[in-house]
Chains A and B, each alone.
Chain A
Amino acid sequence: MKGKQPGTPDVYGLMAEFHTPHEVVEAAHKVRAAGYSAIDGFSPYPIEELSEALGTHRSALPRIVLGGGIFGLLAGWGLEYWASVIEYPFNIGGRPFNSWPAFIVPAYETTILFAAFGAVLGMLALNGLPEPYHPVFNVPSFALATRDKFFICIEAKDPKFDRVETRRFLETLSGEVHEVDH
C-alpha cells in the first residue's frame, strides 16, 4: 500500500486481543456503538453473536446455491433431452424418445451437484478466498486466532480512525492492543 496520500496513517489498523468469547462479543458491541464501521472480528470457531454484533448482513449464498441448483437441473435435463431426442433419437424397447420419468434421476443428481459447487465456490468467492496475503497475519499473536484467542480489528480506512485516539479507546476494552502493519 505505497503511494498513498500524505496524512493517511501507514498502518492497516489496530487490533485488540481477547481471551473469552463473551469479552469479544461485548467489545464488538462497544466498537460499533462508538461509531466505527470498518471493523472485523476474528475467532477460532464461528460465533453467531460476534457476526451479529459486527453488523454482518444476510449472506448472498442461498441465492447462489439456488441458482446453481436450477442451472444443474436445466443442464442435466437439457443434456438428456438433446442426446436422446435431437442428436441421436434411438428406439430402445419402444420407449418414447423423451422418457421424462427415467430422466429424473440424472437431472436430480446434476441439480445437487451444481448446487453443491455453488455453495463451495460461492462461499470462497464471497469471502475473497484464496487470499495469499493479508496484513492481519503480521500481528505475531494472531496465530492464536486459530487456537484460543479472539480479536477485533479497526481498520485505518475507517473515517473515525485515529492512531492515538482509537488506540486509547481499544485499550479501555482490552489489555493487549497491537498495530497491524501493511
Chain B
Amino acid sequence: MKPKSFDQVLEEIRGKRILVANRGIPARRICRSITEMFDAIAVMTATDVDKTSPATSGANELLMLGSNPRAYLDLDRVIREAKARDIVAIHPGWGFGAEDDTFPKRCEEAGIIFIGPRQEPMRILGNKVAVRALAKEQGVPVVPGSEGAVSIPEARELAKEIGFPIMLKAEGGGGGRGIYEVYEESELESAFSKASALAQASFGNPRLYVEKLLTSIRHIEIQVIADTYGNVFCFDERDCSVQRNHQKLVEITPSPWPTYSEELREQLKEYSRRLIQAVGYHSLATVEFLVDQEGTPYLIEVNTRLQVEHGITECRYGIDLVEEQIATAFGSELRFNEENTKPYQWAMQCRINCEDPQKDFSPNAGRITRYVSPGGQGVRIDSCVSDGYRFPSNYDSAAALLITYGNSWNKIVSLTQRALREYMISGVKTTIPFHRQIIGHSKFIEADYDTNFIRKHRNELMNYSDREPESLRLSRLIAEISAKGYNEYVQLGEYRGRDDKRVGRFEPVMPDFPATYFEPRITRGMKRDSILDALREDREKGIVHMTDTTTRDITQSNSGNRFRLAEDKLVGPYLDRCGFFSLENGGGAHFHVAMLANMTYPFTEAKKWNQFAPQTLKQILIRSTNVLGYKPQPKNVMRMTGEMINEHYDVIRCFDFLNHIENMRPFAEVALNSEANIFEPAISLSWAKGFDVARYLEVTDDIVGMCADVAGVSRDKATRMIILGLKDMAGVCPPRFMRELIGSIREKYPELVVHSHRHYTDGLFVPTMGAAADAGAHIVDVAIGSAVRWYGQGEVLSTATYIEDEIGLKTNLDKDMIRATNFVLKQIMPYYDRYTAPYFQGIDHDVVKHGMPGGATSSSQEGAMKQGYIKLLPYMLKFLEGTRKIVRYHDVTPGSQITWNTAFLAVTGAYKRGGEVEVRRLLNILDIVNLCEESALTSYEREARLDLYRDSNDAFRQLLLGKYGKLPLGFPEDWVYQSAFGKSWEKAIAERTEESPLKTLQDVDVAAEESALQERLGRYPSREELVMYLNHPGDAIKTIEFCDKYANCNNVPLDAWFEGLEKGETLHFQGDCKKPHAMRILDISEPDENGMSIVRYIVDSEIVSHQVEVADPQSSFKDAVEVADSSNEYHMGSPCNGDLWVMHVRPGDKVKAGEEIFNVSVMKQEKAVYAPVDGIVKRVLKSANFQEDRLMVPVKENELLVELGPPADVCPTCKETFPTSDCRFCPSCGQKV
C-alpha cells in the first residue's frame, strides 16, 4: 500500500468521531489533539462519577458508561457502544485498557481503528519475559536474572550466580508494584513467601522472577515512534530517576546527569530501534533502561502506549506526539526524521497528585476549594481538576502534569521552582509542596541523584509545612468565628451568639510617647552583678523598684490568662519605657494558656517581647519541679526547658508549693550558670499556725545553701548572686507580718535582694507593700491601673504614692508613661472583661481563712457554678479552712488545686450520700478534729473523721505519699491516711518518702518523644515545638496544627478574635510579612441539615466560600444522645457506631464484673461489652433482642447504653437486696437496718 501523507490523513479524518477510551488527564490531552489538528469530533468515555469532571470539557461528545466506576475496563462494552456511535478510531490513552493486548484485536474485529500497536508486537514487547528473550536475541543488554518464574531453590541457585542483592518481581506486576528487594541469602526464604503472597494478593498471580538489584541507578527511557511502513524515529532520553517506590515523580529531558554521554544516547536509541523493528511495531513506544553509575545500560521493559511523561519530549522538540500517533494509526507516513526533527529545549515534568506525602502519600479525595494555576512563559499544564471540583476517590490520584521548558537545565529548574510557588490547590492535599522540596534540593539541582533519591533524602524532603497563603488562612479563621459568633479556640464555650450585642470595633488610639527625660536605672544587657549592685545601692538611697505584672500574673488572675501577644504588642512598647525593674510577661499558667487558648508558641511570644520592648528586663515564673506544667517533670526536661527560658527571660522566679528547695536545683543549675540571667528562688507564703517567721528563715537558709552549693561559692557570695522572692499568692499576709519577715531576712542576710509579691485578695495590698518597702524590700510587684481587678496585684501609682508619701521612700518610675500605658490598656480591657472574666471580681477578705489564691478564688467559684453546686460553695470554703489545718502545705499551684479538689470532692460526695445534712455532719467532724486533742475524741468521732478524705483524688494521695516533695511541716496524722487510702492505709504509710521527686523520676527519652512528635507532624519539630510538647503534649500539638492551618492568629484584631465580623463589615489586618489585607463577609448562610453554614467573603480581591460547622448535624435520633462518661466506671457506652442486637440486662439486675452486658454488631464484627465492676443495673437506655424480633437498634460510638450503680446492700437477716441505699427497714422482712 502506498503510504498516505499527513495531509491526506487530515482530510480523511475531518468531521469523523474518534473515541478516547479513558478519563482524566490522558483523555483531555488526547481530545485536545483530536479537535485542534484534525478537526475531528472528540468523544470521551465517562462513567457517572466523571460525567461532569473538568476533563470532559475537552471532548465534543461523551460516551456514557453508566454508574459502575470501573466500566472503563469493560472493553467489550466500550467497543459495542463505539460501534453504535459511528466511531472510526479508539485511542486507549494510558492505564485502563491501554496495555491489554486484546484491545487492538477486538477493535479490528469491530472494524474500528485502534490508535496504537497491533496485537502481536504489543504482546511481545509488553510481556517482560518475552521482551527479555527478544532483547537477548537482538544483543540488547538486560538485567541479569531468571528467564521466567522460579521456585525458591531456583531463586537460590540463581542468586548465587548473579550475587546479592536481588529483586523478586511479580510476573503480573508493573508500575513499580510487586517488587521485593532481598539483600542477603538468609532473607531469601521468608521474602519469597511474602512476595509471592503479596503478588497473589495484588495481581492474582503468585509467580515471581528474579533480577539482580542494581544499586545507584538511573531510570532512562527512550521515546520511539514508528509508522506502519517501517520508519522508526527515536527521541532523546527522558530521565525519570526521581521516583518513590518505583513510581515516577519528576521527569526530565535530556538527562542532566554529567556522566550521560552522546555515545550512550546513540547506543540507547540504537537498542530501542532494534527492538521496535524486530517485531514490526508501529505507533508510540517507550523503551526503558536502567543505567548504572558507570553508564552501563540494562533494558527493563517496553511500554507499548502513550506515556504520562510524553509531554516533555513534545516540549524538547516542539512537536505533538499524539497527533503523529493518530496519523500513523490511519496510515500516514511518519513525518519525523533526523533532518527535520531536532531537539532545542530542556523540559521537566512534575506529577502533581492528590496525595498527602506526609501521610505516606495516602490519596485524598474531596472538594477542591481553591485552584490557582501557574502560568507565564515556559509553563504547560495538563490537568484534570478545577476550582470546586470534587476529586473522586474511585480512581488514581493524578491531578495535573506541570511541565516547564527552557533552553538550559538551570532555566527549567528555576522555572519549575517558580511555577510550583505559583501553583495553589486547596481543599485536598497535593504533592505540590513535596515537589517544591525536591526541586529545591541541592543534590537535585546538581543532578546528583539516582532512583534512591527520595528514600535517601526522605527526612529533608518531608520537612515542610503544607501552608496556604497567610491571608487566606487567617481569613478562614475569621470566617469561622463570624459564622459561629464565638471563637471556639479560646476555650470559653459558646460565650456569645452570632447576633449578640458586640463590644464593637477595636480601633485603638495609640498616644504619642510623652516627651520626658526619664532615664531607666536598670536595662537589658546589663550583667547580673551590676544589676544586683544597682538594686542594693538604690535601696541604700531609699529607692524602691517595681515589677509590672500586667501582662502575666494580673491578667492571669483577672482575665483567665487569655491576654494575647497581639495586645502585648500594643502595650509592650509603653510598658518598656515606664522605668520598671522588670516586666513579668511569661510563665505560670500563661505558658500553658498560650497553647491552650491563645494558639501561640510561648517562647516565640517571649522572643517578640524582646523585640518590641527591648529595654526592660523580662521576668518569668516557674513552678520548680513542675516547671510550666502541673506535675513533676524529669530532670532532663527541666533542663531543656530551663535553657529555653534562659534564652528569652532575664529574671527567673521559681517557687515550690512545699518550699522543698531541692526541687529547684535543676533550674538553679541552669540559671546560676549564666552571668546574664538572674535566679530568683521564691518562698511560698501562707499565714497560718506553724508558718511563722522562724520557719521562713529556715527556708531562706535552705535557699542560700542550695544556691551556694550549685554555684560552688560561699553562702555569703551566694546571697549576692540571687534575688529572694516572697510569694504571697493568696494575698493573706498582713502588713505587720511582712514587716517582721522582711526585717528579719534583711537583718540575717543584709546583702540579699528581696522582691515582694502578693495579691490583692484580702484588700490590704497597698499597706502591705508599704510595710514590705519600709522593712527593706528592694522590689515590689504592681500592675497598671486599668487592668487591676481585686485578685491580681495592686495598682502602681497608688502604691508608689503610698510608699513615697506615707513611708517616705522613693520610687524610680516615669509616671507620665505609666498614664499613657494605662490609656492604651483602657481600650483593650473591655473585651477581656466581657468575654474572659464574667465571674466574681470583688474583694474576698475571707481569703485569710480559706486561703484560695488569686485567680483560683474566682475559677473555683466558676467550677462550682458550672457543675451546679453553687449552693455548696460556702461549705466548700469551710472545708478548705478546716483541711488546711490538717494537711499542711502552701496554697499555690499545684497545692491550691489539690486543696480545692479535695474540698470539692468531700463536700459533693457527702451531699450525694446524704444531702446537706451529711455535709453539715462532715464539717462538724472537721471542726471537732481541729478543736480537740486526739485523746479527747470518742471512738464514734474517730470513726466519723474517716469520711473527711474518703472521696479524695489521686493527686491528694500522691501528696500524702510525698510524691511532690517533702511536706513543709511533716506528714499528717495516720488517720488521714486511713481516711484517704482505706484498707491499704498502712501500705501507704510504709511507702511515704521525703525525697525530692527528682531523685526517682526517670529521665524522659527525648529522642523517642521527638520522633513521636515528628511522626505526628509529618516533619521535624523545631526545638521550641519539642519543648512545648514535652511540657504539654496535647495542647502543643493543638497549637502547632492550628498555626499550620490558620497562621499566626495574633494578626487577628481583638474584636474579630472574640466576636468575628458582621456581614458587610470590612476588616483590615496585616500578615506576619506586614502585607495589608482587607476582608469583607458577603453572606453567612443558615446551617443546612448537616449543621454547615457557608460563609462567602472577599479577601483582597478573591471571593472565597468556606464551610463552617456551626451546629450539630440533625440526626435521625429525636433527642440528643446521652454520652457515656469515660471516667465513670458505672457508665457503659457503645464501643462503636453500629447496631445493638442483644441487651442481656434489665434495670435492677445484679451484674458481676466481666459479665457480658450487651453486644454491638458492625460490619459483621460483634463487640461484646462486659460489666467493668460489680453492680446493679440502674438504667438501660436502649434494648434489643434480635434473635426474637429480628430488630437491631442503631447506636452511636460512646452512646450511653447502660448505667450501673454500686452493688446494693443486702439485708443481714433475709439476704434480700435493698432497692435503694436509704432504706431504714428491710422492705422484705422488716428488719431495722
Partners in one complex: no
Q: Chain A residues in contact with chain B, CB under 8 A?
A: none
